Each structure stands twice: as structure tokens, then as C-alpha cells.
Amino acid sequence: MSTSVTPVPASTSPAFPGGTVLGYPRIGRRRELKRAVEAFWAGRTTAAELEATAADLRLATVQRLVELGLDPSDGSVPGSFSSYDQVLDVVATLGAVPARFTPLTDAAGRLDAAAYFTVARGAGDDAPLEMTKWFDTNYHYLVPEIGPDTPISFVDDRFVAAFSEARAAGVVTRPVVVGPVTFLALSKAADGAPEGFRPLDRLDDVVAAYADLLRALAAAGAPWVQLDEPALVTDSVDVAFPELSDAVARAYGALATDLTAGTDRPAILVTAPFGDLRGAPLAGGDARDGLALLAGTDVDAVAIDLVKGAVPTGAVAGLASKTLVAGVVDGHNVWRADLAAKLDVVDSLAGLGAGAVAVGTSTSLLHVPHDVDDEVFGGPGTPGTVLDPRLRDWLAFADQKVAEVVTLARAVVDGRDAVADALAASSAAVASRATAEGVVVPAVRDRAAALTDDDFARGPYAERAAAQSARLDLPALPTTTIGSFPQTPEIRRARAQWTKGQLSDADYTTAMREEVARVVRIQEDLGLDVLVHGEPERNDMVQYFAEHLDGFAVTANGWVQSYGSRCVRPPILWGDVQRPAPITVEWSAYTASLTDKPVKGMLTGPVTILAWSFVRDDQPLGDTANQVGLALRDEIADLEAAGIGIVQVDEPALRELLPLRRADQPAYLDWSVRSFRLATSGVEAGTQIHTHLCYSEFGEVIGAIDGLDADVTSVEAARSRMEIVPELRGAGYARGIGPGVYDIHSPRVPSVDEVTELLQLAATSIDPRVVWVNPDCGLKTRRYEETVPSLEHLVAAAKAVRATL
Ligand code: GLN
Ligand code: ZN
């Protein structure tokens, strides 16, 4: 008898749960974490008190997820808490702290609570880690700085401790960690790193540290760990796909193949949220296929985004040994799903040949508010944050989405009949939304359908420039501001009282008009050439318009983390957009009545309004943008009729909404530019259109900025020392430019000489006749003590440079 060796099973992975969510909001239903960290920063509480609040919040979160139907025993519940940022948590775990902060670490290389926040927020001359947008969300992460000598090893057990803490409370979580490849792809080279060094050069060190982390999680009893690798779906990281794919093969070879599942490591789920893992061929290369790439590794489960990404077809080699987590529930938007349709998608994945298919969210639920039931629903037309009652049925925030996943998972296991009522209810809700009054407004549709190319175009610039210069009679290098003046404590107090009903509409309006009058006097005293009203009446540049347009709702508690302790409450754009009445006209007309100087009206552009809202998902974004564009077009026509000769339409989010994949960018740039032109092209030649963009690195949008066809474009430029001016001209832009000469992001007051020097740089690199003089951005976050002297210096510098022309 021959002795045959029994093959060792390739993996002893536990089964992946039938349903899960990729992450959950961590700020707290009532922003408890925000309050706790801010109290700690202010020195009002100790690190121990902060940690106690954070622990309560973690516990409440995992218990809530179990209550909503996730299994407490198998790793269904994500352990996705962070006190500030998930990327910073990896920095802390690896001790990968930039040299300027290493004095804050202990002997083992760890950051305590205070030091952790110092890396996030900076201290004295030590700048914090840079912050930037997390893929196509409005969340911002901290950018790690990695050099050849950055310490990297597994020094901090925060992920393990959070797992053990939940386990002690009876919930076996699945720790959620940014994956090693994405971590490095998002990092920047540390200052002083040699030419040619790239953070990805440290992959082996990072992977070795992750291996230790996985060993520690396995030892603590974690059945699963989730490693997020969204870098795989994007063209927006600095690492090209072939290189990413090589890094993935190396990293997961070391983590999944070399470590034994169940003993050395938990089973590994790799997620790829925010887009399609497969994609159009790269220029001159092969089609990218991140799904085949991940399927070819020894990880145990792969989660794909089936909301942003296409539904894959065809057998995928290697998937047979894995669970495919079908991200069918949208983690990034607030609409209730049609569960039967989602089940069809799940069913259609059978042909891929995965070992099992589970149900998941497309992304972490970090990007949506906690709970629809935290909102107040009243009758239609109820003011403020009381929502139209029909929205209750149409919306799904994080908690509702967990329930959707649980229902879908049950249908996969027990059949659709087991959840027939839930399926019927969800289909009914989706159907009621599709036909509801206000969702489709025939008048809006008819107007959009009748648009022609002429509605998107103004006359030749030369004619406009001549008409405008005759009308406005401005000096060379005209001075202006970006719109807002400081929002003083008095303004905020008045608004808070008004919102609570303690101040009448009339008294509130009077208080804001007094503020406008004050802002006009200040600008006249300063000698600015083009005046603004200062925007005191606006709580936020998007919410203000959402409150005044049909088709939007504003929530009471729909907070979403933007970064750190900062939260935003995005409006919900649910229906066809119309302007029931003029919004800003009275404010601008009143302002104009107070001065002989030209007054600039101030609006937020369609792209920015969409970017900072939750937008309906039942029609192309471009159609929605055009509806907003038409509403703004009417507003601009009314401003023009009221005698306002200059209107600024802010588009700070133009670059933000740029799709992650290059192949998708031209279509985006086309509709975004068209919506702006639709808003702004109804005016006479003599009416001057400005736009403002909050940044100085234009990249892929530089052509689009020219395409906006604004008469004057103001941009951030002080920090980058006017580099953008010749760049913009080089890209063909040939109209007015207002490069910011005063950096409003700092409380510093720039001297006359400094501003003069910047202005001279601009005025000598291009024709000075097109240059405007303005700050980098709005002044609302500054104080008058800084604003007034800074603007004085700005005006003085303009006069000095004018004299040299
Ligand atoms: N007009 C706005 C302001 O001045 C512009 C803000 C922005 O660019 N984000 O506040
Ligand atoms: Zn700005």
C-alpha cells in the first residue's frame, strides 16, 4: 500500500458572514465624539475622560449594529472606529511619524492621545499632516509622510485593543484597517527624501508591520480583518495601475499566502470601494482588472462596489476559494434601495464562480448620517429642518442601510419569500418616489428639454470686455474681495436665536441689513473698487441656496464627518429644482443703494451645490446640474434687472467632483462646464461674470476653467506665489484673473511690501490689464482685527503697482 499524503486544506478560514457593512459613522448620533475631542483639545477634560467617552461610543455602536441584525459572533460587525482619521490610525499603529513629531513618541514609538492629535492638527511651527479628499467623498484624510528613514513597525495595538474591548462586551468585530498598498499610495514623500524616492519603496517594511498586526489580531481571536484598498479603483493616486498591481501581489502574497489563516492571521477581506475594479484600457496598455488581481491572491474575501462599479460578468479565476461581497447597498448616498432589484444584481454574480456571495454596502457608511428616525417629519412646506413626510419612506441613512443589508442577506439564504414584505415595501417606496409630486415637475422638464446651444453661450469676449469697461469704469488692477466678510459672534448669535424662533424674521433681517451697511462702510473706507454685501445672512454657501430652492431638503441631525471633529450637514436634493422666488436680489439691491461703487452679486454655482449635497440618483448628474443652472440663471437675470453689473458664481468644488477614473472625466467636465454656462450666459455683454475657485492646482480641470467663459476668474495663489497666473494663460485662458494676494487661511496680516511683491509678480508675468487684486478666498472665518489691516495693505499695494504701470 502506498502511503499517500493527505493534502492540507489550503485555508481554514471561517465562512464569511452573509451580510455586512464596510464601516459605520463614528462621530456619534449626536456628535458625541466631536464634543469629547474638542473638550479634550480645550483642556477641559483629560485623556482618560476622552478615552472613556470614545469607549462608550464604540460599545454603543457595535451594540446598535447587533440590534439592527448583524451577527455578534462572526465578524459581521465592522470595527471601524477612529478618534480622528483612519489613515492617521495606521500612521499611529506603524509609528510612521514624520521626523518633526518623533520627539512626541514614547520609547516604543507610540503616540499618546495628545500627541496623536498634534500630528493631526500641528503645534507651533510644526505643521500638521496635510489633509486631502478621500477618493470621491467629502471626507478628508491626513496624508502620511514617508521617507527612507521613517520608522515603520507594529508599535501600537489600538486595533487589537478595540477588538478585545468589543469581544469582552460580547461582540466579535471585524477590525477595519486601510490596506497597506492604499496607505502607501496615498502617502507623500517626506521632506528631505532623496530625489526619486517614493513611499511605495517602503512596501516591504509596511507589509512586515501589517503581518505583525494580523498576528496580534489572530491571537486576540479575530476571525476576520478588513483591509481597504480603494487605491485599486482610481487613476487619481500617483501610482499607476501596473505598479499598484505589483504591490498588491507582493503585499497579499506576504499577508495572505505566507501567513496561515486561522493561526497566524484572521481571514482577510479586501475591499475596493468607490469605483470599478475593472476598467478601460490604460493608454497604450492592457485593460486594468483589479478583480482578477485580487482573485489571484490568497485573501479570503473580496468586496466590490456595485453602485459605482459595473456588475462584472464572466468566470474569474481564483474566486472559487473566496467569498465575493456584493456591495449593492449604496454607502455613499442617502436613498432607500429597491431591494428586489439589488437581489437581482446579487443573483447575477453567480457566473463569476465565487465560493460564496455575501451582501454588503458599496462603501463604508461613514459618508451618510446615522438614522432617518433622528429627523423630524412634518407637512409639506413646513419651514426649517422639518422634512416633507414623504421623505421618510425614500431615505436610508446608516441604520436603515444596515437593515437593508440584513434583509438582503436573509433573502440570499432563506429565499425571497422569507422577506417578501420587506421587498414589497422597498419597491413600493421606490415607486412612490419615482412618480411623486415635486420629483418630476413638468414645467422644469419642459424648460430643460427646450434648451439649445445658444442657451449655453455668451457673445465674443472682446465685445463683452468693451461693454463692461465702459459700464464699470474701473481703474487698472481693480480691487475686490471674494464675498464673505467675517461672521462675527453677533451674527452667529442672531442666526441661532432666529433659528430657535427667539428672534422674529423682521428683527433678524434688520440685524443682517445693519451688518451689510457696516460691511459697505468698511469697504468704502478701505477704498476697494468692487464691493460685496459680505454674506452675513448665509449659514453656508450651499445650504443657504438649498433652503431657498424647491427640490431640496435640509436635515436637523444629518451630520456627516468631513474631517477630524468637523461635520457637515449636506442638504438632500430630492426633486426637480426650481426657484420659487428671488433669493439674493434684495440683499444685493440694498447693498447697491448704499454706495456709488459697483456691487458684485454673489451666488454658488451648480457643480458646487451638487458636490456638497446628497443628490438624487434617478437621473444623470448633468440633468440635475442644469436644473440648478436654470434656477441660477433666473437669479442672475433678476440681479441684472435690479442694476447689479457684476455677478460672481463660485465653483470651488469644480475639481472636487472630478471622477476618479480618467475615462470618466471628459463627460464630467462637459456637463459641469455646461451647467455653469447655462447659469451665466443669459446676461447682456455689459454684465460681468466672475467665478471663484478655492485652489491653485488645476491639473485636469485647467481646460474646463477656460471653458466656463467667465469674464474674471479668482483663484488661490498667495502660497504658490502666483505660479498659476502664467499657467492659466499658457492653457489658453485669456480673460480677467484675480490671483489671491492675501492668504486668508492664516491669521497673519501680510505687509504692504509682501502684497506688492506678489502683485508685481502677477502683473509682470502677464498683461497687467487683465489682473484683479483680491484675497485667496472668502473672509468669513477671519476676524476683523486681521481682515481690515490686511485689506488696507492690499489696497495700498494695488495703488503702488498701478503707479508703476
Ligand atoms: N463667496 C464665498 C465666500 O466668500 C466663497 C467661498 C469659497 O470659495 N469656498 O465665502
Ligand atoms: Zn474660496
* Atom nearest to 652 CA in ligand 1: 8
- Integer angstrom CA distances of residue 690 from 601, 681, 706: 10, 12, 12
Q: How far is the CA of 719 from the centre of ligand 2 (A)?
A: 14
In single-letter form, the type of residue at position 212 comes to: D
**pLDDT tens readout for residues 685-698:** 999 999 999 888 88
Four-point Cα dihedral 414, 420, 423, 425, nearest 10: -150
Report the Cα 795 to chain-centroid distance in Å: 35
Q: How far is the CA of 178 from the centre of ligand 2 (A)?
A: 31
426 part of a folded domain = yes
Contact 17, 323 (CB under 8 A): no
Contact 144, 90 (CB under 8 A): yes
Ligand 1 neighbours (beta carbon < 6 A): 482-484, 535, 541, 602, 650, 652, 692, 694, 777-778, 780
Q: How far is the CA of 707 from the centre of ligand 1 (A)?
A: 21
1 part of a folded domain = no
Confirm whether residue 191 is marked as ligand binding.
no
What would the mean pLDDT of 280-295 be, rounded to a whole number?
A: 78
Confirm whether residue 482 is marked as ligand binding.
yes
Q: Are residues 370 and 466 in the same domain?
A: no
- Ligand lying nearest the CA atom of residue 535: 1
138, 484, 491: which to mutate for ligand 1, most atoms within 8 A of CB? 484
Query: Rounded mean pLDDT of the chain?
Result: 95
Report the C-alpha gap between 375 and 553 in whole angstroms.
Answer: 11
Q: What pLDDT score was predicted for residue 496?
A: 94
Q: What are the DSSP calls for 107-166, one per residue?
A: TTS---HHHHHHHHH-BTTBPPPPEEE-TTSS-EEE--EE-TT---S----HHHHHHHHH
Q: Are residues 44 and 94 in the same domain?
A: yes
* CA–CA–CA angle 681, 647, 687 (5° rounding): 60
Contact 372, 396 (CB under 8 A): yes
Q: Whose CA is nearest to atom 6 of ligand 1?
A: 778
173 part of a folded domain = yes
Q: What pLDDT score was predicted for residue 749?
A: 95
Q: What pLDDT score was predicted for residue 729?
A: 87
Q: How far is the CA of 540 from the centre of ligand 1 (A)?
A: 9
Q: What pLDDT score was predicted for residue 327?
A: 98
769 part of a folded domain = yes
Q: Whose CA is nearest to atom 5 of ligand 1?
A: 778
Confirm whether residue 138 is marked as ligand binding.
yes
Count CB-CB contacts under 10 A for residue 151. Answer: 15
Report the Cα 756 to chain-centroid distance in Å: 35
138, 481, 523, 535: which to mutate for ligand 1, most atoms within 8 A of CB? 535
533 is a catalytic site residue: no
Q: Which of 313, 187, 191, 160 is nearest to 247 (CA)?
A: 187
Contact 367, 26 (CB under 8 A): no
Choice among 332-336, 583-587, 719-723 with the minimum mean pLDDT: 719-723
Q: Whose CA is nearest to atom 10 of ligand 1?
A: 778
Longest dimension (CA), the chain: 107
End-to-end alpha carbon distance in the chain: 102
Confirm whether residue 31 is marked as ligand binding.
yes
Q: Which of 125, 144, 147 is nearest to 197 (CA)?
A: 147
Q: How far is the CA of 763 from the centre of ligand 1 (A)?
A: 24
What would the mean pLDDT of 541-556 be, rounded to a whole number?
A: 96
Q: Is 272 exposed, middle or buried (0-12, 13-18, 19+ CB in 10 A)?
A: buried
* Atom nearest to 778 CA in ligand 1: 4
Q: Which residue has the higher pLDDT, 537 or 11?
A: 537
Q: What pLDDT score was predicted for residue 361?
A: 98
- What is the domain range of residue 296? 12-374+388-435
Q: What pLDDT score was predicted for residue 12?
A: 61
CA atoms within 13 A on the CB side of 39: 16
- Ligand lying nearest the CA atom of residue 718: 2
Q: How far is the CA of 483 from the centre of ligand 1 (A)?
A: 6
What would the mean pLDDT of 606-631 be, rounded to a whole number?
A: 98
Q: Are residues 767 and 662 in the same domain?
A: yes
In single-letter form, the type of residue at position 551 comes to: G
Whether 540 shows a pLDDT value over 70: the answer reads: yes
Q: How far is the CA of 543 from the centre of ligand 2 (A)?
A: 16
Q: What are the DSSP calls for 492-553, one per residue?
A: HHHHHHHHTTSS-HHHHHHHHHHHHHHHHHHHHHHT-SSB--B-TT-SSTTHHHHHHSEEEE
What would the mean pLDDT of 639-650 be, rounded to a whole number?
A: 98
Backbone angles phi, psi at 623, to 5 degrees: -65, -45
Residue 704 makes CB contacts below 8 A (sequence gap 6+) with 654, 669, 672, 673
Q: Which of 356, 300, 298 is nearest to 326 (CA)?
A: 356
Q: What pLDDT score was predicted for residue 720?
A: 86
Q: Where are the extended beta strands (E) located within 330-470?
A: 356-361
- The residues pairing with 534 across neighbouring beta strands, listed in sequence order, are 484
What would the mean pLDDT of 555-562 be, rounded to a whole number?
A: 95
What would the mean pLDDT of 732-741 be, rounded to a whole number?
A: 95
**pLDDT tens readout for residues 215-274:** 999 999 999 999 999 999 998 888 888 899 999 999 999 999 999 999 999 999 999 999
Q: Are residues 279 and 344 in the same domain?
A: yes
Q: How far is the CA of 482 from the centre of ligand 1 (A)?
A: 6
Q: Which of 748, 692, 779 is nearest to 487 (CA)?
A: 779
* Atom nearest to 694 CA in ligand 1: 8
Contact 444, 627 (CB under 8 A): yes
Confirm whether residue 111 is marked as ligand binding.
no
* Atom nearest to 483 CA in ligand 1: 4
Contact 328, 21 (CB under 8 A): no
Confirm whether residue 566 is marked as ligand binding.
yes
pLDDT band of residue 8 (cuts 50, 70, 90) is very low
- Ligand lying nearest the CA atom of residue 651: 1
Count CB-CB contacts under 10 A for residue 154. Answer: 20
Backbone angles phi, psi at 279, to 5 degrees: -170, 175
615 part of a folded domain = no
Helices (H) and strands (E) in the chain, counts: 26, 23
Q: What pLDDT score was predicted for residue 381?
A: 54
Q: Which residues of 544-561 are buried (b: 16+ CB within 10 A; e: fewer)?
A: bbbbbbebbbbbebbbbb
Q: Give the per-residue SS3 of 443-472.
A: HHHHHHHCCCHHHHCCCCHHHHHHHHHHHH
What would the mean pLDDT of 16-31 be, rounded to a whole number?
A: 96
Q: Which of 659, 655, 662 is nearest to 715 (CA)?
A: 655
Q: Are residues 494 and 355 in the same domain?
A: no
722 part of a folded domain = yes
What would the mean pLDDT of 456-483 be, rounded to a whole number?
A: 97
Residue 426 makes CB contacts below 8 A (sequence gap 6+) with 336, 337, 338, 339, 340, 404
* Atom nearest to 693 CA in ligand 1: 8
Q: Are residues 286 and 177 in the same domain?
A: yes
Confirm whether residue 716 is marked as ligand binding.
yes
Q: Are residues 346 and 493 in the same domain?
A: no
Q: Which long-range contacts (CB under 8 A, 24 or more apart) does 115-122 make?
A: 116/83, 116/84, 116/88, 116/92, 117/37, 117/40, 117/41, 117/84, 119/88, 119/91, 119/92, 120/84, 120/85, 120/88, 120/564, 121/41, 121/564
- Which residue carries 433681517 as its cell? 509
451 part of a folded domain = no
- Which residue carries 447587533 as its cell? 66
Confirm whether residue 32 is marked as ligand binding.
yes
Confirm whether residue 675 is marked as ligand binding.
no
> Which three three-digit cell numbers place residue 653?
468644488
Count CB-CB contacts under 10 A for residue 344. Answer: 12
Confirm whether residue 342 is marked as ligand binding.
no
Q: Which residues of 304-335 are buried (b: 16+ CB within 10 A; e: fewer)?
A: bbbbbbeebeeebebbeebbbbbbbbbbbbbb
Length of the chain: 805
Number of structural domains in the chain? 2
Q: What pLDDT score was predicted for residue 705?
A: 94
Q: Give the per-residue SS3 of 592-639.
A: HHCCCCCEEEEEECHHHHHHCCEECCCCCHHHHHHHHHHHHHHHHHHH
- Which residue carries 446608516 as its cell? 398
Report the C-alpha gap between 647 and 640 in whole angstroms.
Answer: 8
Q: How far is the CA of 481 from the centre of ligand 2 (A)?
A: 10
541, 696, 782: which to mutate for ligand 1, most atoms within 8 A of CB? 541
Among candidate residues 140, 370, 548, 745, the one labeled active-site is: 745
Q: How far is the CA of 625 from the centre of ligand 2 (A)?
A: 20
pLDDT band of residue 14 (cuts 50, 70, 90) is confident
* Atom nearest to 780 CA in ligand 1: 10
> Which three three-digit cell numbers place residue 476?
487698472
Choice among 221-235, 279-293, 481-495 with the minimum mean pLDDT: 279-293
- Integer angstrom CA distances of residue 195 from 12, 148, 192, 717, 775: 45, 11, 9, 26, 34
692, 693, 781, 787: which to mutate for ligand 1, most atoms within 8 A of CB? 692
What would the mean pLDDT of 581-592 be, rounded to a whole number?
A: 98
> Going by DSSP bridges, is the β-strand pair 131-133/140-142 parallel, antiparallel, or unpaired?
antiparallel
Q: Are residues 109 and 146 in the same domain?
A: yes
- The pLDDT > 90 percentage for the chain reads 89
Report the C-alpha gap between 608 and 617 in whole angstroms.
Answer: 17
Q: Are residues 69 and 144 in the same domain?
A: yes
Q: Are residues 425 and 467 in the same domain?
A: no
Count CB-CB contacts under 10 A for residue 673. Answer: 23
Assign residue 33 the CATH number of its domain: 3.20.20.210
Q: How far is the CA of 594 from the centre of ligand 2 (A)?
A: 26
650, 655, 791: which to mutate for ligand 1, most atoms within 8 A of CB? 650
The model carries a pTM of 0.95
Report the C-alpha gap between 558 and 257 in whole angstroms.
Answer: 43
Q: Which residues of 56-95 are buried (b: 16+ CB within 10 A; e: fewer)?
A: ebbbebbbbbbebebbbebbbbbbbbbbbbbbbbbbbbbb
Q: Whose CA is nearest to atom 3 of ligand 1?
A: 778
- The residues pairing with 176 across neighbouring beta strands, listed in sequence order, are 226
Q: Are residues 406 and 526 in the same domain?
A: no
726 part of a folded domain = yes
Choice among 127-131, 171-175, 626-630 with the minimum mean pLDDT: 127-131
Q: What pLDDT score was predicted for residue 2?
A: 45
What would the mean pLDDT of 745-765 be, rounded to a whole number?
A: 94
CA atoms within 13 A on the CB side of 347: 10
Whether 282 shows a pLDDT value over 60: the answer reads: no
Q: Are residues 411 and 502 in the same domain?
A: no
Confirm whether residue 539 is marked as ligand binding.
no
* Atom nearest to 648 CA in ligand 1: 1
- Integer angstrom CA distances of residue 449 from 446, 454, 520, 607, 686: 5, 13, 42, 20, 28
